[in-house]
Amino acid sequence: MELLLQTLLNGLLMAGVYALVATGLALSLGVVGIVNFAHGEFLMLGAFLSYLLFAFRGLDPLFALGLAFLAAFLVGALTYWGLIRPVLKAPELNQMLLTFGLSILLQNLALLLFGADTRVVAPPYQAATLALGPFFLGAVPLGAFLLSLALLLSLQLFLTRSRLGLAVRAVAQNRLAPGLLGIEAEGVYLLAFGLAAALAGVAGVMLSVMLYASPSVGFLFTLKSFAIVALAGLGNLKGVVPAALVLALAEALVSTYLPGGGGLVEAVFFLVLFLALVGRAWRGA
């Protein structure tokens, strides 16, 4: 019983970061209408930024959080401006090929620059735990969870309370009738794409401590985020959090209870994705 609860607790904490990354993906998909295969590479960027600052400047990853947010936002906005904007009206196949190409390019650039090794950022508090009755909470996963929650709440507030946020939602709903919003839509696209990247960048800093930085760390999160978004339903931002919870809990359960589950954890997202799609096909969406 205690093992089960501890497992669920671990899953819950992981769900926060998952939701953060997947929300970014859902934002670029729902608002800009782009399937961004390179979403995880923004995460990788954040992770390596955190690593470099820590390794060469001795900077605490807490500082890297803000920097990664800004840097990823900038890179996301530039990506939109230079690469996505020219193909907004191109066939979907071309759009997906473009972002896939970007993902391959960035992953392999990182491979050339840093090699395939995984690099962990280990601040003094990395292994700290809090005891909660019979349970243990890692200080870093708990912090990451709370920060993710706070970021998601701010995003929610931004989208529902601010003028700019309302514009973002309006564009998301009118995407099927392009050309109506003209130049305003361009600004909103830029903002949404930048924000999506920024969320991933922050998640990357968290993961550099909880997991590691490596050229392929983002790619895995792209896939997991796709599974979450498929489960939530396209363009459904609110569904992302429960869907992230489903994936994270399923992974936690598999890794605890399945003999030799360690390796198969990386197959759980596929099962979730596949079942979500079977459900969708069944309903005839």
Partner 1 sequence: MRGILGLLLLFALLPFLPLGAWGAFLLDVGLFILLFTALALSWDLVARTGQLSLAHGAFFGLGAYGAGLMVPHLGTLPALLLGSLLAGAGALLLGSVTLRLHGLYFAIASLAFSEVLRTMALKLPFTGGPIGLPVPPPFGGGWPLASYYLAFAVLLLAVALSLWAERSSFRLAQAATRQSEAVARVLGVRVVRVKLLSLLLGSLVAGLAGGVYAMKALFLNPYEAFSLGRAVEALVIPIFGGLYSTLGPLLGGVVLVGLEQALRLWIQEGYLVVYGALLILAILFLPRGLLGLLGGRRG
For residue 183 the two structure tokens come to: 């130049």
Nearer to partner 1, 15 or 84 (CB): 84
Is residue 211 near partner 1 by the rule CB under 8 A?
no
For residue 32 the two structure tokens come to: 């800009």
Q: Smallest gap, in angstroms, from Cβ of residue 216 to partner 1?
A: 9
Nearer to partner 1, 101 or 178 (CB): 101
Nearer to partner 1, 69 or 226 (CB): 226
- What value does the CA radius of gyration of the chain take, rounded to a whole number of Å? 19
Is residue 257 near partner 1 by the rule CB under 8 A?
no
Q: Which residue from 18, 145, 189, 269 is in contact with partner 1, where contact means CB under 8 A? A: 269
- Identify whether the C-beta of residue 14 lies closer than 8 Å to the C-beta of residue 144: no
For residue 6 the two structure tokens come to: 């501890």
Is residue 230 near partner 1 by the rule CB under 8 A?
yes
**DSSP 8-state class, residue 121:** -
Select from 20, 23, 40 the least CA-distant residue to 31: 23
- Identify whether the C-beta of residue 126 lies closer than 8 Å to the C-beta of residue 211: no
Q: Smallest gap, in angstroms, from Cβ of residue 27 to partner 1?
A: 15
- Identify whether the C-beta of residue 41 lies closer than 8 Å to the C-beta of residue 216: no
Q: Which residue from 1, 3, 116, 131 is in contact with partner 1, where contact means CB under 8 A? A: 116
Rule CB under 8 A: which of 58-87 touch partner 1?
A: 83, 86-87
Q: Which residue from 223, 233, 239, 256 is in contact with partner 1, where contact means CB under 8 A? A: 223
Contacts of 244 (CB under 8 A, 6+ apart): 15, 16, 18, 19, 22, 228
**DSSP 8-state class, residue 179:** T
Task: Report the interface residues with partner 1, using CB under 8 A.
Answer: 35, 37, 83, 86-87, 90-94, 96-98, 100-109, 111-112, 115-116, 220, 223, 226-227, 230, 234, 260, 263-264, 266-267, 269-270, 273-274, 277-278, 280-281, 284-285
